[in-house]
């Protein structure tokens, strides 16, 4: 009954989406207010029905209804409740349902909070949203229905893949989807602007908070996924340049560029055409990511060819939306008037430079991810493109970008003074040089690149603070006045500070982890001691334990520093009987921003156990950086300018009517 209700709710949502994708457009054409307002009510109703459908699937998983294929294949009655819930999106069908739920959520938000949008713009935006939604509802209903039943229900489920039985699954995919799908709003706004053939500053003011929100979630989602991989996979890596990761990095890079070009558009009414293109590209890359991951094309081109139903369907959606929006762009973009002139050396110029580097970086990831696939399809040659390629091509793009980051906020709009900005960055430059000198002397004979890279990061962080110091007159005028000025600064300025500083913080973490990471690999027996980076780790013993749906082998290590006992670490290996597979649960000991990391390997016949111990200096900065960026984004989002939103022209109209 619940499964059928969920299925039916989804069909109804499709019906609503079809209405929403046509009627408001006709309304906009005829200037019929009632027809345009249909968009609002259908968007809200759609949200209601999709939410009901999603709740139904959650219900089926929680109650372990194994008569439903999706539950049978991905759940087990003994699985802890939290994993029964997260298991809903730990599989293809469920994750697609989460995808459309979030799409409907965003559509509902625009409908609910879009009261001060121009009516025809709102109608267009929601109609475009409904096109996307209809395509994906059809995809789910035709190829990936999560509500299918089994004729003879089995008594027990096949359990969820053990690797996914982790709190990471509860946070990572929803965050990521909020980011991915959030960009659909900027896409819809862009297409609506092209359809209407008009775009103004109010448009940018509307698009920016939505883009920012999506960007915040995507940033956190990627960082969270990276940390999850770091502790779950058991070899301490945190970024693999895997195609699946690249699929999420591409929209992030394009989204970051979009965020910055939207600022120019809002403030200076310039870069309109480019901002529209970026909005289209960012969501197109999100769709591409969905295609890459969902179609199985990554695993092998042949796997895709043998079962192409799903892949071809998404490919079709991809072609229609990307091709359609780009054609529309090519046709209509010239109709949009360009405005806001600026000199090359100016805030706008700096933001354009930012866009140049970010889009090039995005293009690099794009070609590196898709080239092997294209080459194999076209010529049959198989090549690999992995971390060494990306490290070599990506880093040179990011170095000049990092150098330029502190200059941007210090340049004036329209016409900036590069020399003046450089003077104001003197302190940051000196800080960077000191950092390089100190590190170089400290690690004398080691890597020369690492101190320079850290110097660059210090420059970015100190540079981010320079703007605030400059604006508050800190150290030049009495402290009290400075503090008052600091309080009066717009929150967006603080947002920029934290977001830019976050980039520097992450860079420090990345450089430290890759350069000064030390590891111990060896076989250990009880009472053996491993020494690493000044720590002494003694293996106390190994015990067996029974978990809810697994058995685990737990090793206990006593960690000592300078002969004093610090803590106890308990890495383990879990065996999941239903799937006959096992996972490595690494043990982590955090010391400041650094971590000790132990993971277990196989046990030898003589009882010795293979152990990997890492000391990762300042590794946590890799994730604190993105958290800072997201915090900066949130501050910026709460800025008064965005809270107040676009001015309401409706009142002015009413005022005029009254005067008549």
Considering only residues 528-567, where is the footprint of other proteins by CB under 8 A? none
Q: Would you list the DSSP string of 517-585?
A: -EEEEEEE-TT-EEEETTEEEEEEEEEEEE-SS-EEEEEEEEEEETTEEEEEE--EEEEETTTTEEEEE
Binding mask 609-638 for other proteins (x = CB under 8 A): -x-x--------------------------
Contacting residue, 583, 594, 595, 636, with other proteins by CB under 8 A: 583
CB of 135 to other proteins, least distance (A): 17
Contacting residue, 24, 27, 182, 289, with other proteins by CB under 8 A: 289
Which residue stretch of 59-67, 388-396, 419-427, 443-451 sits at the interface with other proteins (rule: CB under 8 A)?
388-396
Contacting residue, 457, 599, 615, 636, with other proteins by CB under 8 A: 599
Which residue stretch of 59-67, 102-110, 254-262, 381-389 sits at the interface with other proteins (rule: CB under 8 A)?
381-389
CB of 397 to other proteins, least distance (A): 7
* Ranges within 292-311 binding other proteins (CB under 8 A): 293-294, 296, 298-300, 303
Contacting residue, 46, 53, 70, 95, with other proteins by CB under 8 A: 95
Q: Residue 435's Cα: distance from chain center in Å? A: 31
Contacting residue, 61, 573, 615, 616, with other proteins by CB under 8 A: 573
Q: How many helices (H) and strands (E) does the chain have?
A: 24, 10
Asked whether 468 and 436 are in contact (CB, 8 A), the reply is: no
Exposure class string for 575-606: b at 16+ Cβ within 10 A, else e: ebebeeebbbbbbbbeeebbbbbbbbeeeeee
**CA–CA dist 446, 467 (Å, integer):** 34
3-state secondary structure of 276: helix
Asked whether 178 and 286 are in contact (CB, 8 A), the reply is: no
Exposure class string for 230-239: b at 16+ Cβ within 10 A, else e: bbbbbebebb
165 binds other proteins (CB under 8 A): no
* Ranges within 318-347 binding other proteins (CB under 8 A): 341, 343-344
CB of 463 to other proteins, least distance (A): 23
Q: Could you tell me which residues come within 8 angstroms of residue 384 by beta carbon, excluding any fewer than 6 positions away?
A: 372
Binding mask 232-271 for other proteins (x = CB under 8 A): xxxx-x-xxxxxxx-xx-----------------------
384 binds other proteins (CB under 8 A): yes
Contacting residue, 335, 383, 437, 644, with other proteins by CB under 8 A: 383
Which residue stretch of 174-182, 476-484, 617-625, 646-654 sits at the interface with other proteins (rule: CB under 8 A)?
174-182
Q: Would you list the DSSP string of 297-328?
A: TTT-HHHHHHS-HHHHHHHHHHIIIIIHHHHH
CB of 599 to other proteins, least distance (A): 7
* Ranges within 496-535 binding other proteins (CB under 8 A): 521-523
**CA–CA dist 138, 14 (Å, integer):** 7
CB of 550 to other proteins, least distance (A): 12
The site for other proteins, by CB under 8 A, has a size of 86
387 binds other proteins (CB under 8 A): yes
């Amino acid at each position: 009954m619940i499964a059928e209700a969920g299925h039916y709710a989804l069909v109804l949502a499709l019906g609503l989406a079809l209405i929403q994708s046509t009627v408001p457009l006709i309304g906009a054409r005829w200037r019929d207010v009632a027809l345009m307002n249909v968009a609002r009510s259908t968007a809200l109703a759609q949200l209601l029905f999709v939410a009901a459908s999603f709740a139904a699937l959650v219900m089926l998983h929680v109650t372990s209804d194994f008569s439903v294929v999706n539950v049978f294949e991905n759940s087990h009655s003994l699985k802890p409740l939290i994993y029964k819930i997260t298991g809903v999106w730990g599989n293809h069908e469920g994750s697609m349902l989460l995808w459309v739920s979030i799409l409907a959520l965003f559509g509902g938000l625009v409908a609910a909070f879009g009261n001060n949008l121009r009516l025809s713009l709102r109608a267009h935006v929601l109609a475009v949203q409904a096109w996307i939604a209809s395509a994906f509802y059809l995809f789910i209903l035709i190829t990936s229905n999560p509500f299918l039943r089994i004729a003879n229900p089995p008594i027990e489920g096949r359990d969820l893949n053990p690797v996914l039985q982790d709190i990471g699954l509860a946070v990572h995919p929803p965050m990521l989807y909020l980011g991915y799908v959030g960009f659909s709003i900027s896409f819809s706004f862009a297409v609506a602007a092209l359809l209407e053939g008009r775009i103004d500053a109010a448009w940018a003011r509307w698009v920016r908070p939505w883009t920012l929100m999506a960007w915040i979630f995507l940033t956190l989602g990627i960082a969270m996924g990276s940390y999850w991989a770091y502790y779950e996979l058991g070899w301490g890596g945190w970024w693999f340049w895997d195609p699946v990761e690249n699929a999420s990095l591409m929209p992030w890079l394009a989204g970051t560029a979009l965020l910055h070009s939207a600022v120019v558009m809002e403030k200076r009414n310039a870069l309109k055409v480019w901002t529209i293109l970026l909005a289209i590209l960012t969501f197109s890359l999100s769709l591409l990511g969905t295609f890459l991951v969902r179609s199985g094309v990554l695993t092998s081109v042949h796997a895709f060819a043998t079962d192409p139903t799903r892949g071809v369907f998404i490919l079709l959606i991809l072609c229609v939306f990307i091709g359609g929006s780009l054609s529309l762009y090519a046709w209509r973009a010239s109709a949009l008037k360009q405005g806001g002139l600026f000199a090359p050396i100016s805030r706008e110029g700096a933001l354009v430079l930012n866009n140049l580097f970010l889009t090039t970086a995005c293009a690099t990831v794009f070609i590196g991810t898709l080239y092997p696939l294209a080459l194999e399809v076209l010529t049959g040659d198989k090549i690999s493109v992995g971390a060494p390629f990306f490290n070599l091509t990506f880093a040179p793009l990011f170095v000049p970008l990092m150098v330029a980051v502190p200059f941007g906020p210090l340049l004036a709009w329209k016409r900036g003074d590069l020399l003046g900005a450089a003077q104001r960055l003197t302190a940051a430059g000196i800080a960077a040089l000191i950092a390089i000198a100190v590190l170089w002397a400290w690690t004398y004979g080691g890597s020369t690149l690492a101190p320079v890279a850290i110097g660059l990061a210090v420059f970015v962080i100190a540079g981010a603070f320079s703007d605030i110091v400059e604006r508050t007159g800190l150290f030049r005028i009495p402290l009290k006045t400075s503090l008052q000025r600091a309080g009066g600064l717009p929150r967006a300025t603080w947002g920029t500070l934290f977001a830019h500083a976050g980039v520097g913080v992450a860079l420090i973490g990345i450089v430290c982890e890759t350069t000064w990471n030390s590891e111990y690999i060896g076989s250990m027996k009880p009472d053996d001691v491993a020494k690493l980076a000044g720590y002494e780790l003694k293996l106390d013993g190994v015990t067996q334990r029974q978990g809810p749906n697994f058995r685990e082998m737990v090793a206990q290590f006593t960690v000592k520093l300078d002969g004093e006992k610090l803590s106890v670490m308990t890495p383990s290996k879990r065996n999941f009987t239903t799937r006959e597979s096992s996972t490595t649960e690494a043990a982590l000991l955090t010391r400041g921003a650094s971590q000790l990391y132990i993971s277990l390997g196989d046990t030898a016949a003589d009882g010795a156990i293979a152990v990997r111990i890492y000391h990762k200096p300042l590794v946590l900065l890799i994730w604190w950086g993105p958290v800072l960026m997201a915090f900066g984004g949130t501050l910026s989002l709460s800025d008064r300018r965005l809270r107040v939103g676009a001015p309401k022209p409706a009142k002015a109209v009413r005022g005029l009517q009254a005067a008549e």
